[in-house]
Amino acid sequence: MNRIEQLFKTKKNNILSIYFTAGHPTLDSTVEIIKTLVEEGTDLIEIGIPFSDPIADGPVIQKSSQTSLENGMSLKLLFEHIKDIRKDVNIPLILMGYLNPVLQYGIETFCKKCNDVGIDGTILPDLPFDIYQEEYESIFDKHNIYNIFLITPQTNDERIRKIDNASKGFIYMVAASATTGIRQGFEEYQQDYFIRIEKLGLKHPRLIGFGISSRETFQHACKYANGAIIGSAFVSALEEASDLKKGVQGFIRNIQ
């Protein structure tokens, strides 16, 4: 059983997923960050693949991606860094990034390598759902890699049900109609969106992302979904930490 599926079978609520960019703040920090997140009780980790043009991301993650690339991180090197991660880490690990680096690596080669090193899933926001189904789904299935799909406040109910029927793992609910970033709370249209999705009675669990930055916003999101994803706020904390391990520990303890 895929570890993502196992997680949602054993834990139904308050699932904490953390995103960070591989190779940031330093080239060799990725494994230490993952291990510390696990030690602090994080349920799921999204490892960002750095890209030169991260159009869906806000300034914090854009900067982390630029720093990572300047540090020398690449998809090939990322796989090398995490090749032994499953000796110490049992929670689900997802690679999140843009389609271009994956295409350059080769879809089949990428999925096989993900399986080899213990990656459970991917989030590729610029991979169209229909193209995935037509061209790539069989490859992902072959290597037991769950590709997670995003929905937004603008996604209509028919499309959401189509995504739900084709999904594996969970559905990523984008909370805002903008780029990623740190926000102080949810607006009325976002809460209406959360309620609308809840009323659809989807068969797959849901995690809310974009704008989750504090214990308050995490708990609020968890009222409407199985859990939430924190990205920009955590990346900022890494940037500011004088001691990486203590920075990770302090951030997670302030959320839970």
Question: Are 175 and 147 within 8 A, CB to CB?
Answer: no
Whether 57 is catalytic: yes
Residue type for position 172: Y
- Catalytic residue chosen out of the listed positions 28, 43, 53, 57: 57
Range 74-113 burial, b when 16+ CB lie within 10 A, else e: bbeebbebbeebeeebebbbbbbbbbebbeebeeeebbeb
Question: Are 45 and 16 within 8 A, CB to CB?
Answer: no
Whether 70 is catalytic: no
What is the rounded CA–CA span in Å between residue 220 and residue 147?
Answer: 26
Question: Are 125 and 165 within 8 A, CB to CB?
Answer: no
* Residue listed under structure tokens 């693949």: 49
- Catalytic residue chosen out of the listed positions 40, 46, 120, 164: 46
Report the catalytic residues: 46, 57
